[in-house]
Structure 1
Amino acid sequence: MHTLAHPAAPIAPVTLELHGVRLEPLGPQHADGLRAAASDGELWKLRITSVPEPDQVDAYISKALGQRPERLAFAVLDAASGKVLGTTSYHDIVPAIARLEIGYTWYARSAQRSHVNTSCKLMLMTHAFETLGAALVGLRTDNFNHASQAAIERLGAKKDGVLRHHALRRDGSVRDTVMYSITAGEWPEIKAHLRYKLAQHGTV
C-alpha cells in the first residue's frame, strides 16, 4: 500500500466507522443532510467558523471536491440512521514530508458535546498514523475559538504557535490562526487517551 511518504501517492478515499459514527467521502449526495446539520443551531451565524449557509452547501461540497488531492473531505454520519451529523477533512496534505492536517470540522448542535468528535478524531488519526504512515498530524483553529482550542488541547496535541494575520473570516475580518500538532511518536499515548475518553462515554 502506498503511504503518505510517497509523493506520487494521493490519499485514497476511504470509509471509516467506529462507535456508531461513520466517515465517508463527502459528495453531492450529502447536500440535504449537510443543510439540515448546519441548520441545527444555525451554525453559519458563528463568526469563528466556516459553516456554509443552507443555500451555499452545494458550492461548499463542490469546492471541497475541487481541492483534492490536497484535501479529502468526509461526511460524518450516524451509522445506524444514516443521518448527516457534520463534516471533517484531511487537508494541507504534503506527502513528501508525510504531513497532513485535520480540519474543516463542524457538527450539528445536537451532535456537539457527545462522543462524535472524539470518535472522528480517533478514526482519522488512527488511519493517518497507522495506515497512511503520517509523521505528523496538524490541527488549527481561530484565535477566538476558545472552545475549539480547548477541545484540541484535550486531545493531547501540542501548541506550535500562532500565525498572525493569517486568514479571512466570513465577516471579512482577518484572524490569527492557532496551530497544533501530534507526532507519530506521541500517537500511542494520544490513542490510549482517546480510547479512555470514549470509555467514559460508555462507547467502548
Structure 2
Amino acid sequence: MIQVQPTDLALGPVHLVPLGLEHEPGLLAAAADGKLWELAFTSVPEPSQTRAYIEQALATPNRLAFAVLDAKTGRVLGSTSYHDIVPAVDRLEIGWTWYAQSSWRTAVNTACKLALLTHAFDALGAAVVGWRTDLLNTRSQAAIERLGARREGVIRHDQLRRDGTVRDTVRYSLLASEWPAVRNRLHHRLHHG
C-alpha cells in the first residue's frame, strides 16, 4: 500500500519541495509570467487568490502539493501535486501542474514528471499513475501523451471551470508495467533533447 509523505525531489533543472505559504511570492511571480490565471482551463490562481490556493492545497486530503523550483537559482517556476491518492489500490494522480510561461518548451516539465513518476513507481510502489485535463487544454493533452500515458477516455460534463462553464475531462493513466519503457524514453529526452 502506497504511503505518500512530504519529500523533496530533484532532477536536472528542477527541485520539487513541499508547497508552503513561504512560496506565495514566487507563485505570484510565476503566474504573472504569462498572466496564466487568464487561461480558463488551468488551475493557476488569480493574484489575489494565491494564498488561498496554497491553503487549499495544504488542506486537501489525499494531496501532496509541491513548489517547482529552478535547481540553480531557487526561483519558483510553478506548482504540481500528487492527488487523489488511493493507497488501497496503489493509485495516485499527478496534476494541478502549471509553470511560468518562460518555462514552457523547456526541460522543466520532462524533468518534473520524470522525478514524480520515478518516486511514485520506484519508491512508493504505485501500480498506476493517472492524469486528468480539460478537453480544451490541448497543450496539456499533448504533454501527457508525450510522457507515454494512455488516454482512457473523456468524462463529459465533469466539473466547473473558473468562468462558470462546465468542462469535459480527458483521463490518462500509466501502469507500473509500462513504466520501464517510459522511464527510458524520458531519460533520453531529458539528456539528449
Q: Distance in 2 between matches of 1:64 and 1:105?
A: 12
In the alignment, which residue of structure 2 is the partner of 1:185? 177
Aligned pair 1:170/2:165, yes or no? no
> Which of 7, 10, 13 is residue 17 of structure 1 equivalent to?
10
Give the structure 2 partner of residue 133 of structure 1.
Answer: 125
2:69 match: 77
Question: Are 1:26 and 2:19 counterparts?
Answer: yes
Q: What SS is found at the alignment partner of 2:177?
A: coil
Q: Does 1:142 align with 2:140?
A: no
Structure 1 length-normalised TM? 0.93
Q: 1:116 aligns with which of 95, 108, 111?
A: 108
Quick one: distance in 2 between partners of 1:172 and 1:161? 23
RMSD: 0.8
Q: Residue type of the partner of 1:64?
A: A
The number of aligned residues is 193
The secondary structure found in structure 2 opposite 1:175 is strand
Please state how far the C-alpha of 1:199 moved relative to its aligned partner. Answer: 1.8
Counterpart-to-counterpart distance in 2, 1:30 and 1:57: 10
Mind listing any 5+ residue stretches in structure 1 that lack a counterpart?
Answer: none
Distance 1:163 1:40 in 2: 31
Deviation at 1:143, TM superposition (A): 0.4
SS of 1:126's equivalent in the other structure is helix
Deviations 1:77-132 (A, max 9, x none): 01111100000000000000000000000000011110000000000000000010
Deviation at 1:137, TM superposition (A): 0.1
**Residue in 2 aligned with 1:90?**
82
Letter in 1 for 2:7: V
1:49 matched to 2:42? The reply is: yes
Residue of structure 1 in register with 2:95 after alignment:
103
Q: Tell me, which stretches of 5 or more residues in structure 2 are unaligned?
A: none
Structure 1 ranges of 4+ moved more than 3 A? none
Relative to the length of structure 2, the TM-score reads: 0.98
Helix, strand or coil at the partner of 2:23: helix
Matched, 1:60 2:53: yes
TM-fit CA distance, 1:66: 0.2
* Partners of 2:78 and 2:99 within 8 A in 1: yes
- Secondary structure of the residue aligned to 2:156 is strand
| Alpha-carbon distance between aligned partners in 2 of 1:20 and 1:194, rounded to the nearest angstrom | 14
> 1:48 Cα shift?
1.1
- Of all paired residues, the percent bearing the same amino acid is 61
Q: Secondary structure at the match of 2:7?
A: coil
Measure, in 2, the Cα distance between the counterparts of 1:83 and 1:59. Answer: 21
